[in-house]
Amino acid sequence: MPLIRISLRAGKPAGYRRAIARNIYEALRETFNVPEKDFFATVSEHDETGFIYDPEYFNITRSNDLVLIQMTVSNTRTVEQKKALYRRIVERLTKDPGLRPQDVFINLLEVAKENWSFGEGQAQYA
């Protein structure tokens, strides 16, 4: 059920981008009990004029390796599960592909289960 959107500065190799997407999905599986094969992600690369952020908001020093992660999920998780997800994503991304924790920005969008269609014009969760 998650839809993962990843934005970062252009220039990283395909393996780097794939590692980010894969590790986010694995963190979702570990903390949100996302099923196997429920993996849908996009990676958008931007030049410096199209990737704008404050390098010190909340007193967190960000670099040009900042990765913006937005996930749309069903609104069925607790605050504790969300905190666990954020921690696990950072743990996984610091190991592979080697991001700094300060360069992982996460935004979670929650929707009702009937707001999903996985194909064939059906609302599979409704």
Give the domain ranges of the chain: 3-114
This prediction's pTM: 0.95
Task: Taking the CA atoms of 43, 47, 50 and 51 in sequence, report the sign of the dihedral they define.
Answer: positive
pLDDT band for position 78 (cuts 50, 70, 90):
very high
d(CA 110, CA 75): 5
- Helix, strand, or coil (residue 101): helix
- Write out pLDDT tens, residues 38-48: 999 999 999 99
pLDDT at 56 over 90: yes
Give mean pLDDT, residues 75-98.
Answer: 98
User: What phi and psi, each to the nearest 5 degrees, are found at residue 44?
Assistant: -115, 130
CATH topology of domain 3-114: Macrophage Migration Inhibitory Factor (3.30.429)
pLDDT at 1 over 90: no
- Helix, strand, or coil (residue 3): strand
Question: Catalytic one among 2, 13, 97, 101?
Answer: 2
35 assigned to active site: no
pLDDT at position 50, please?
A: 97
What's the mean per-residue pLDDT of the chain? Answer: 97
